[in-house]
């Protein structure tokens, strides 16, 4: 790969830059990553342009410079890079490193979402759901974006789709489907998803198996600092607490992704 990068192949330079930045396949070397990313960007690689912006936005091997980051994100966005479009959109909408322009910010976020970038799908769905960045609240418009992100595996989108299905916002209410999406989010470690699974299963459920699972999910959410989960947890006997903790540990170890060091 290095040989091909030395020959000036922009795509190879971009891929190798990411590998050096993350320490994948090769030893982590942020400076080499920046050199390769810049080389690819100067050859017109759209996502590499956004990659250079990332270095400046986060102050990695260069001084943090949001104005320069914005310039690179714009170059990448105008070339069609979805990550560049999302980053530029957010900075414009929030007025970070550039004069605030919510309308243009929304335009770039939507452009990125329409290319299927999971984080952009979630961002577009969220701004329609919550009415941020000057967007009118529109649940019907939010749902397709959030659903697509959820189907790709975006954990926060999975939880929000569950909320919309439970409450019938922008879609016909369906508590069974809502619980399914909450489970997917919970299994990826999202505290709100864990709390919602526990809440729907019912900590006071007469079905002891469902009650035990409810308490286990609520315990996992509470351990992450989720206040609603903490309030929903009842006082338990030492025997029941032992069972709940054992199930919570099993759920975490068997279904939740391991946290890398």
- What does 95-145 look like in DSSP terms, one character per residue? TSSS---HHHHHHHHHHHHTTT-HHHHHHHHHHHHHT-TTPPP-HHHHHHH
Residue 259: the pLDDT is 43
Contact 135, 128 (CB under 8 A): yes
Q: What is the DSSP letter of 258?
A: P
The answer on pLDDT for 122 being more than 90 is yes
Q: Where does the chain hold its CATH 1.25.40.10 domain(s)?
A: 1-115
Confidence of residue 257 (pLDDT cuts 50, 70, 90): low
Q: What is the pLDDT of residue 254?
A: 77
pLDDT digits (tens, 9 = 90+) for 170-187: 999 999 999 999 999 999
At 2 the pLDDT is 55
Q: What is the pTM of this model?
A: 0.89
pLDDT at 261: 31
Which pLDDT value is given to residue 253? 86
Confidence at residue 8, expressed as pLDDT on a 0 to 100 scale: 65
CATH of the domain spanning 1-115, picked from 3.50.50.60, 1.25.40.10, 3.40.50.2300, 2.60.40.3500: 1.25.40.10
Give the residue-averaged pLDDT of 98-104. 97
Average pLDDT, integer, range 34-50: 96
- Is 161 in contact with 188 (CB distance < 8 Å)? no
pLDDT for the residue 66: 96
Q: How far apart are CA 40 and CA 151, in angstroms?
A: 32
- Reported as a pLDDT band with limits 50, 70 and 90, residue 237 is very high
Q: How far apart are CA 155 and CA 194, in angstroms?
A: 11
pLDDT of residue 25: 82
Query: Considering the chain, what percentage of its residues have pLDDT values greater than 90?
Result: 91
3-state secondary structure of 29: coil
In angstroms, the CA 180 to CA 165 distance is 10
- Predicted confidence at residue 7, as pLDDT, reads 52
Q: Cβ neighbours of residue 148 under 8 Å, at least 6 residues apart?
A: 116, 121
pLDDT, position 24: 79
Q: What are phi and psi of 257, to 5 degrees?
A: -65, 140
Write down the pLDDT at residue 260. 37
Give mean pLDDT, residues 222-234: 96
Mean pLDDT of the region 117-146: 97
In the predicted model, what is the mean pLDDT of the chain?
93
Q: How far apart are the first and last CA of the chain?
A: 27
* Rounded distance between C-alpha atoms, residue 222 and residue 229, angstroms: 5
Percentage of residues of the chain with pLDDT beyond 70: 94
How would residue 6 be classed by pLDDT, with cut points 50, 70 and 90? Answer: low
CB 188 within 8 A of CB 257: yes
Yes or no: say if 46 and 15 are a contact pair by the CB < 8 Å rule.
no
The pLDDT tens digits for 198-226 are 999 999 999 999 999 999 999 999 999 99
Q: Dig out the tokens for 256 from the structure.
A: 């939740």
pLDDT mean over 71-97: 97
């Amino acid at each position: 790969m290095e040989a091909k990068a030395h020959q000036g192949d922009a795509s190879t330079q971009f891929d190798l830059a990411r590998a050096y930045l993350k320490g994948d396949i090769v030893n982590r070397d942020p400076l080499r990553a920046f050199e390769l990313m810049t080389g690819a960007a100067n050859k017109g690689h759209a996502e590499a342009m956004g990659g250079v912006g990332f270095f400046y936005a986060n102050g990695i091997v260069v001084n943090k410079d949001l104005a320069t980051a914005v310039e690179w994100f714009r170059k990448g966005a105008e070339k069609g890079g979805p990550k560049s479009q999302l980053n530029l959109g957010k900075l414009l909408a929030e007025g970070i490193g550039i004069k605030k322009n919510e309308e243009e910010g929304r335009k770039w976020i939507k452009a990125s979402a329409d290319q299927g970038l999971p984080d952009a799908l979630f961002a577009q769905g969220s701004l329609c759901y919550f009415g941020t960045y000057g967007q009118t609240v529109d649940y019907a418009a939010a749902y397709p974006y959030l659903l697509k992100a959820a189907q790709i595996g975006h954990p926060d989108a999975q939880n929000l789709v569950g909320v919309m299905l439970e409450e019938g916002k922008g879609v016909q209410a369906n508590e069974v489907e809502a619980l399914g999406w909450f489970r997917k989010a919970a299994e990826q470690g999202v505290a709100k998803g864990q709390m919602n699974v526990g809440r729907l299963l019912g900590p006071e459920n007469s079905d002891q198996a469902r009650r035990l699972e409810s308490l286990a999910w609520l315990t996992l959410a509470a351990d992450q600092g989720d206040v609603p989960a903490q309030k929903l947890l009842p006082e338990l006997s030492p025997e029941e607490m032992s069972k709940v903790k054992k199930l919570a540990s099993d759920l975490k170890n068997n279904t939740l992704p391991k946290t890398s060091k």
